[in-house]
Structure 1
Amino acid sequence: MDAVIYIVNANPSTKEQFVEPRNELNALLSDEAFANVPFLIFGFTTSESSSCPQEELCSLLGLTNITTGKGRVRLAGPNARPLEIFVAKLHNKKQYLDGFKWLSQYIKKYDILFL
């Protein structure tokens, strides 16, 4: 496995809607099979007004202080995992592209798991 792409709805009606995605992400991040693969998390929105900002989405998913930054980041060790969240509007191709460009710097092949 070369990468994991996780998609979550970033148009919250309640904060409780993030319990299941938070638990799924926690399980994936704890799984030894994914220990060294980069994680790209897309938070999809339908409009600016109803979406939560990236910082809030990180918090709701329990991912505070573990993202690696949008720029090219040197990882501290061989077992470090790149992880980043991109919030994208459903019809904004540039925002999707930004996420895939970020991910492409960490993978060598195109064997990607979409969740």
Structure 2
Amino acid sequence: MLSVSLPVTDQDAALAFYTQVLGCELRFDAVVPPGVRMIEVVPPGSEVGLLLLPPDSPIPVALRLGTDDADAAYARLAAVDGVVHHNDEVLRWDGVPPMFHFSDPEGNSLVYLEDAAAG
């Protein structure tokens, strides 16, 4: 697992809490396509990031899993009964890795994110 997202109503307050109170390290803080501020912090002793996203964000609140080939993962999951793709294809935006959003047969929200370290 690369990260899990959390909905937060005040990103600045959440960032302060996670870094100053819980001791998380800031890994990423920028506006990404489609125009959403994405903040990622990492708890002490962990490699798994926490994404602090607005609750109404078009970026899904989901577990983010790494894959070395987003296209192959998309095709593999297309053949699995009960998996719901939320994107018509693998998303490719400037400055971010290829990714797609899907739900498992239980309805849990997941994202596959192409990650060179996953291979």
Quick check: TM above 0.5?
A: no
- Where is the helix percentage greater, Structure 1 or Structure 2? 1
Higher-Rg member (1/2): 2
Larger RCO of the pair (alpha carbons < 8 Å, separation 6+):
1
**TM-score, with structure 1 as normaliser:** 0.31
**TM-score, with structure 2 as normaliser:** 0.30
